[in-house]
Amino acid sequence: MATYSQILGTGSYLPVKIVTNYDLEKMLDTSHDWIVERTGIRQRHIAAEHETALMMAECATHQALTAADITPSHIDMIIVATTTPEKLYPSTACLLQQRLGVAGCPAFDLNSTACAGFIYAFSIADQYIRSGTVKTVLVIGSEVMSRVVDWQDRATCVLFGDGAGAVILGAQNKPGVLSTHLHADGTYGDVLAVPIGVGKPVAQYTYMTMKGNQLFKIAVNILGQLFDETLTVNGIHKSEVDWLVPHQANMRIIHGMAKKLAMPLDRVAITLDEQGNTSAASIPLALDKAVRDGRIQRGQLLLLEGFGGGLTWGSALVRY
Ligand code: UT7
């Protein structure tokens, strides 16, 4: 009998501190109206010193474990998608494994898949479960984006927020995850980058650089193709999709994608207005919110999509 992966439970963590657009108006040459009109963002959560990628990942994990009704001892693999890890190594996943007390299982970070990191991690977890290698995988997106944006650069800092989302995928004999689709195009590497690297003088390269307008146009194009690919591979018409769970980068992109699927906005899991762009954490955060408040129900068909630096992008079609 074929093995599939199923979402067993979800969890999340958001930093306590909220920074509104009005707060940013006091620090930068920007306005609430510009940010809302161009992005849809109204506020974002910003991490305090103790709210690190590890700390937030751990909190989200405990929620997900409770939701899945399992203990850490059931976890066979840990994957943390983060562009803002605790250290180059040990990985955030290994640090988390130590805190969970489950030494022995594979644990690793996906660092450079940026905002598509969660989809990449989710896809890897799904492949390992389908192959029968493991039964239960903890998949996390955890980001402190506030520490890689230049707070003097209004074109980027207003867009991002911090947080973590966790999903537990487990083996079962009916789908589950129907398919995942991953892509990358290094030609567009300079469109979105945090160019710090080993051996580079730090000050010059620490912060994110983004060609927002170009990225916007590429995103709309590649996401449209990605939806077509995902639906075609599964022989599914867009009307069968119950929920779009998108990466939360820009409300105009999200609206465009909903339109492509002919989907009303109340069928799109949106957190952008309250959380900003939390990079690899944005999809599991949006998923967890819609699951917890009862909007997403068991048996419904979900389309998850993400895109980010690299460029990287990907999707997952999931029977929840
Ligand atoms: O998660 C990874 C994926 N990320 C994305 O996909 C982001 C995609 N891109 C976007 O979401 C949009 O391009 C942005 C929201 C980043 C920018 O919106 P835009 O409509 O593309 O604006 P723009 O960059 O073309 O800038 C328009 C104007 C410029 O002024 P001038 O040159 O027309 O005088 C900017 O300097 O808006 C100005 N501007 C701002 N004004 C007030 C840029 N940032 C701000 C700001 N407040 N925060």
To test the pocket of ligand 1, the residue of 216, 278, 311 to mutate (highest count of ligand atoms within 8 Å of its CB) is 216
Go through 246-259 and write b for each residue having 16 or more CB atoms within 10 A of its CB, e for each that does not.
bbbbbbebbeebbe
117 φ, ψ to 5°? -60, -40
Pocket test for ligand 1, best of 19, 21, 28, 38 (most atoms within 8 A of CB): 38
- The answer to whether residues 281 and 143 touch, using CB atoms and an 8 Å cutoff, is yes
Which residue, by CA, sits nearest to atom 19 of ligand 1? 213
Q: Is 205 helix (H, G, I), strand (E, B) or coil?
A: helix
Domain boundaries, the chain: 4-174, 178-319
- 115 in active site: yes
How do beta strands 162-172 and 177-184 pair?
A: unpaired
Of residues 21, 111, 250, 277, which has the active-site annotation?
277
Q: Give the pocket of ligand 1 (CB within 6 Å).
A: 30, 34-35, 38-39, 115, 154-155, 158, 192, 212-213, 215-216, 219, 249-250, 277, 308
Q: What is the CATH number of domain 178-319?
A: 3.40.47.10
CATH superfamily of 4-174: Thiolase/Chalcone synthase (3.40.47.10)
Instruction: Determine which residue's CA is closest to atom 43 belonging to ligand 1.
Output: 155
CA of 191 to the centre of ligand 1 (A): 13
- Ligand 1, atom nearest to 215 Cα: 8
Cβ proximity of 27 and 138 under 8 Å: no
Centre of ligand 1 from the C-alpha of residue 263, in Å = 26
Q: Is 277 marked active-site? A: yes
| pLDDT tens series, the chain, 320 aa | 889 999 999 999 999 999 999 999 999 999 999 999 999 999 999 999 999 999 999 999 999 999 999 999 999 999 999 999 988 899 999 999 999 999 999 999 999 789 999 999 999 999 999 999 999 999 999 999 999 999 999 999 999 999 999 999 999 999 999 999 999 999 999 999 988 888 766 666 678 999 999 999 999 999 999 999 999 999 999 999 999 999 999 999 999 999 999 999 999 999 999 999 999 999 999 999 999 999 999 999 999 999 999 999 999 999 99
Residue 115 Cα: closest atom of ligand 1: 1
Tokens of 178: 């129907």
Task: Out of 105, 157, 247, 250, pick the active-site residue.
Answer: 247
Residue nearest to atom 23 of ligand 1 (CA): 213
Residues 6+ away with beta carbon under 8 Å from 225: none
Asked, colleague to colleague, whether 4-174 and 178-319 share their fold, the answer is yes
